[in-house]
Each structure stands twice: as structure tokens, then as C-alpha cells.
Amino acid sequence: MAHAAHAHHDSVTSLKATRGAVAHGLEEQNVNEQAAEKPYSIYTRQEKWFIVMIASLAALFSPLTANVYFPAIPALASAFHTSIESINLSVTAYMVFQGVSPMFWGTLTDRIGRRPIFLACLLVLCLSCIGLALVPTSAYWLLMLLRCMQAAGSASTIALGAGVIGDIGTPAERGGFFGILTLGPQVGPSLGPIIGGVLADKLGWRSIFWFLCIMSAACFALMLIFLPETLRRLVGDGSVIPSPFYRPLVPIFGKGRVVRDAPKPPKPTLNNPLRLFFYLDVLNLLIFNAVLYAVFYAVNTTISTIFASKYPFLNEIDISLCFLAIGGGMAIGTVLSGRMLDADFQRIKTRLVKKAEEDPEKRIRPEEVTREENFPIERARLRMMPMFAAIFILTCAGYGWSLQRETHIAVPLILQVIFGYTVTAIMTGMQTLLIDLLPSQGSSITACNNLVRCSFGALMVSVVDLIVNAIGPGWTYLLFAGICLACSPMIWLAIWIGPRCRAKRRARNTAA
């Protein structure tokens, strides 16, 4: 009897435990489903686009500040009573700080927030422009110092914008957002010389810096008034109200969707961005992107000299207008490549969802296909890259020989449009993938990308004229096309090693 009572008690206990486990399992499933259904950000799609457009306006200053300066170099050499080579040293110094400063600002913004660093960079840029507009012509050293400060203020805006995209955009949206963010940086190298040439010719070289001062001050005011803080370590999905220091003067984004008593995210730790270079998949993308950027910079910086020698009937204004060809191609590529990336993401997602629904073992639920461990993000971002790379390589070689043979000027200009489109499509895909790999460190990884590509670009600028003078533009760009062809297997390498590298990082983070 006692034995029967004891058995009955055990069965009741077991039943309660089973019910508790089932209830706990259902509760955990509901929590997971709610987490899966919860939007990545509280901002609507229209609000996200507006935030990205504000960030892209700031990102325009990085290339614009660098390239608007070029037409004024002869006037500056004359005003400062020095050689053009000495003034060119300020260009070199600018490029050095353009590559290094985002490593500092990008790391800082991943720790203390996007909004304050954006405002700090624009303030430094505005003040340095005022200094350059007023610099005495007897102080060459001050010109160099202020150009370095100008680079420190303007160069980091692209990295900061990339961090904002990682904060508010899902992987399905990032392609389009990154396309808009890079519109300014891609068009800036073409518009800069035209704006600088007109200002220097009509109003003098100091007007260039007053123009930049006014533009950067206007952007500073726009961000101060409207830009919300987006760093997820501070505001989560945007629903956490930060301290007044982080709030815009006119909070128009996310109204009615913030939670006053929401739990604050954990305090961030300062990560060393240099460790990103030890991630094999990241390093592979950085090097390939930098090689293409260096070749692009070679084309862009030699347009003036080569077109002047091959087409002597062109005056300075005509030559400056030739920059619009490559700039137009890049502008088209920026918009279309972003849409293409989003479409490719949706195409692969749809295919994987259908496969998951048809899987009899249900190893992956349809709503789980976009999780990092299940989604082949490298294949989604790089699917069209081999085709674009092939067109880029052929166009690069053809561009050089069209100049070598002095064909009709329409031929190299049309090839510039194609060249600009393909290089933008490739670099947008690569840069979007970099953000996908480490979205919480979007600014740091973009700063690393900027450091590597600016280093390659500076090296290219220092040797491209020597190579063109030695072997001519035809063989020069055939050589550059061959280098790009040799590096093209890195696209397939990225698709192959990417999932393995991501799995190792997940395992390391889980263990930590």
C-alpha cells in the first residue's frame, strides 16, 4: 500500500515536472517568437531613409574637401611663394590623416555614440576651414597643420555613416542605405575640382575654404537639430531615451515609440579596431577593395594631365568637365547597386524560406533563415561581383589604349562612365558586406577599410605619373587591369572562407 502511494506520488511529481517543462518550453518558444517578430529598429522605413540621407550629406565632405583643393594648387604656390611640389606635400599630409583619423574617431563612436562624434568632426572641419580662409601667406607651416586638421574632421564622416546604417538597418535594407551613403563620396571626387576651379577663378583661393566652412556649418546645424543617437549600445533599437546630451533639439524620429523605463544596454567596452585585421575574411575584403580603389584613384588623378596632352584643344574648364563622366557613372552605380544588393538578398532569402518549408526534417524554420548562422550573406552580397569585375578589368585596359591611340574623345569618356559604374557596384557590395559581418562595429570596420584603401591610393598617386611617363597610358592601364585580374579570385575566396570565419567568431564569443 505504501509502495503504491509512493508510486502514485512519483507519478504526480513526474507529471507536474513534465507539465512544467512543457509550459517552460512554450514560454521560451513564445519569447523567441516575440523576439523574432520584434523589429530591428523602432524607426519607420521613411525615417531610416531620412537619417541615412543626413549621414550621407556629412559623408560628402570627405572627398569634397580633398578634391576641391586641387585647382587652387598653382594659386597657392604663387601666394605662399613656394613650389607646387611643396604645396603637393599638403595633399600628401591630407591623405595620411584621411587614412589614420577614422581609426580614432571610428573606434570612439562605437563606444560613446554616433551623434556627438558627428558633431565633433563637423566642428573641427568648420574651424579648420575658417583658419585656412584666414591663414597668412607667410605661414606655410600653418597651411600644412590646418590641412591635417581639415582631414581629421572630414575623413571620418563616411565611417560614422556606416555605423549609423549598422545601427538602424537590417541586412535586407543595408544595400540600398549604403548606396545612398556612398553617393556623396563617389560623386565628390568629380564635383570637387569643378567647384574648386570656379571658386578659385572667380573669387580667389580663399573662397574655397569659406565655401567649405558655410557648408559644414549648415550640416552641423542640421545634425544638431534633427539627428538622433542610434548606437545600439546606448539606445538599443531606438526605444531607450538617452541622456539630454544625446538628444536632438527637435526629436521628430521615433515619436510615440520610445520607452521611458526601458532597460539600458550594458556599458560598452573599448575595442581595438586593429584586431579586425586579424580576421581573415575581413582582411581579404579590405585588400581587394583597396586594389580597386587604387586603380580608380589612378584614373581619376591622371584625367587632367593625360587629357591635356592627348587632346590639346581642351582648355582648363573643358578638362574639369571631363571629370563628370566618371562621376556620372559612379552616381548611377551608387543608386542601382544598392537596389541590386537588396534584391539579391531578398532573392536568396525567398529561396531559403521555400527550401525550409519543404524540408521534412524541419532543421531550420522559415523564420530562422536570416539568422547569421543560417544565411549565406557572402553569396548574397557578392553574387554579381565576378561579372562587374570582368567588365571593370576590360574597361580599364580599353580606357588606357583609347588614350594611347588618341581616339575620339567620346571613347574614353564613355569608358569612364562604365568604369565609374562598375567600380562603384563592386565597392558598394564589398563595403555593405563588411558592415554585415560586424554591424556593431560598423564605424571601426569602415575606418579600417578607409585606412587600407587610402594607403593603397596614396601609394598609387605617388607612382602613377612615373609609370604613365615611362610606358604610356595604354600599357599602364593594361598593367593595372592585369593586377585586378590576378586579385579577382579573392571574390570566390570571400564566399568560401566567410561562413567558416563567422562560425569561429560566434564560437569564440559564445565561449567568452
Tens-digit pLDDT profile for residues 413-450: 999 999 999 998 998 899 889 988 887 777 788 888 88
Q: Which residues make up the CATH 1.20.1250.20 domain(s) of the chain? A: 44-255, 272-512
Compute CA 274 distance to the chain's CA centroid, rounded to the nearest angstrom: 17
Cα–Cα distance between 230 and 194 in angstroms, integer?
35
Report the pLDDT value the prediction gives residue 97, as an integer from 0 to 100.
84
What nine digits make up the cell of 478?
Answer: 593594361
CATH of domain 44-255: 1.20.1250.20
Task: Match 552616381 to its residue by C-alpha cell.
Answer: 331
Q: What CATH number matches the domain at 272-512, 3.40.50.740, 3.30.390.30, 1.20.210.10, 1.20.1250.20?
A: 1.20.1250.20
pTM: 0.75
Which 3-state string (H, E, C) describes 47-108? HHHHHHHHHHHHHCHHHHHHHCCHHHHHHHHHHCCCCHHHHHHHHHHHHHHHHHHHHHHHHH
Task: Match 594607403 to its residue by C-alpha cell.
Answer: 455
In this structure, what is the dihedral angle of CA atoms 292, 296, 301, 306, given to the nearest 10 degrees? 110
Residues 6 or more apart whose CB falls under 8 angstroms from that of 197 comprise 71, 316, 317, 320
Answer whether 108's CB lies under 8 Å from 114's CB: no
Answer whether 72's CB lies under 8 Å from 205's CB: yes
Per residue in 127-168, pLDDT tens? Answer: 999 999 999 988 989 999 999 999 888 888 888 888 898 889
Report the pLDDT value the prediction gives residue 221, as an integer from 0 to 100.
96
Backbone angles phi, psi at 259, to 5 degrees: -120, 115
State whether residue 239 is helix, strand or coil: coil
Cα–Cα distance between 361 and 370 in angstroms, integer?
19
If we measure between CA atoms, which residue out of 74, 84, 69, 221 comes closest to residue 133? 69
Cα–Cα distance between 255 and 381 in angstroms, integer?
33
Residues 6 or more apart whose CB falls under 8 angstroms from that of 348 comprise 375, 376, 379, 380, 383
Answer whether 240's CB lies under 8 Å from 258's CB: yes
Report the pLDDT value the prediction gives residue 78, as an integer from 0 to 100.
86
What nine digits make up the cell of 49?
Answer: 531613409
Report the pLDDT value the prediction gives residue 258, as an integer from 0 to 100.
64
State whether residue 165 is helix, strand or coil: helix
Backbone angles phi, psi at 239, to 5 degrees: -85, -15
Cα–Cα distance between 367 and 352 in angstroms, integer?
10
Answer whether 338's CB lies under 8 Å from 428's CB: yes
State whether residue 288 is helix, strand or coil: helix
Task: Match 591630407 to its residue by C-alpha cell.
Answer: 94
Report the pLDDT value the prediction gives residue 161, as an integer from 0 to 100.
87
Answer whether 429's CB lies under 8 Å from 382's CB: yes
Report the pLDDT value the prediction gives residue 267, as an integer from 0 to 100.
54
What nine digits make up the cell of 441?
Answer: 562595429
Answer whether 306's CB lies under 8 Å from 403's CB: yes
Residues of the chain with pLDDT under 70: 1-38, 186, 256-272, 316, 512
Report the pLDDT value the prediction gives residue 105, as an integer from 0 to 100.
84
DSSP-assigned beta bridge partners for residue 259: 240
E strands present in 126-168: none
